[in-house]
Amino acid sequence: MDLKKRVEELLEDALKERSDIFVLELNISENNDIKIVLDGDNGVTIDDAVFFSRQIEHNLDRDEADFSLTVSSVDITKPFRLKRQFRKNLNRTVKVKTLTGEQEGLLVAVDDDQIMLENKVREPKKIGKGKVTVVKQYNIPFDEIKEAKVVLKF
């Protein structure tokens, strides 16, 4: 059996047991170096990575194909690849590059078609001098998003 197909089957079986986890990347090199990148609705722990690693490694026959296996969690600095990652990052500050520009704000809503960001901005008062803080919301359709990632604040 093809190694990639077998790994995909084993991943599917493991995901049935752990529906809170999802696969972002599966790469198998010519040298049978298997690399799996996971993300989860509640993040990915070391125990999660060990679970997936064991589900795959214990069910592959090294006599059929010699391989190396790496299972890791997603790098938080990488852009989102799936809509599910937007849902996971609700109420976090994200930076979104769109077809027309950039927008940064608190991710407050996600549906099948779009996301909603919220920002607090200072605007001049309508009457009198000075400024007032106003909350603005921006709807961004998924088909206009080129890239989105979490803004890390220290």
* Phi, psi angle pair for 7, to nearest 5°: -65, -45
Q: What is the pTM of this model?
A: 0.82
> Could you read off the pLDDT tens digit of each residue along the chain, which spans 154 residues?
689 999 999 999 999 999 999 999 999 999 999 999 999 999 999 999 999 999 999 999 888 889 999 999 999 899 999 999 999 999 999 999 999 999 999 999 999 999 999 999 999 988 888 999 999 999 999 999 999 999 998 8
94 and 151 Cβ atoms separated by less than 8 Å: yes
The CB-side HSE value for 94 (13 A sphere, CA atoms) comes to 29
Among the candidates 73, 96, 122, a domain finishes at 73
Please identify, among 25, 45, 73, the residue that sits at the C-terminal boundary of a domain.
73
Domain with residue 139: its CATH number is: 2.30.30.100
Structure tokens at 148: 């989105």
Contact 96, 145 (CB under 8 A): yes
The pLDDT of residue 126: 87
Strands 21-28 and 33-40: antiparallel
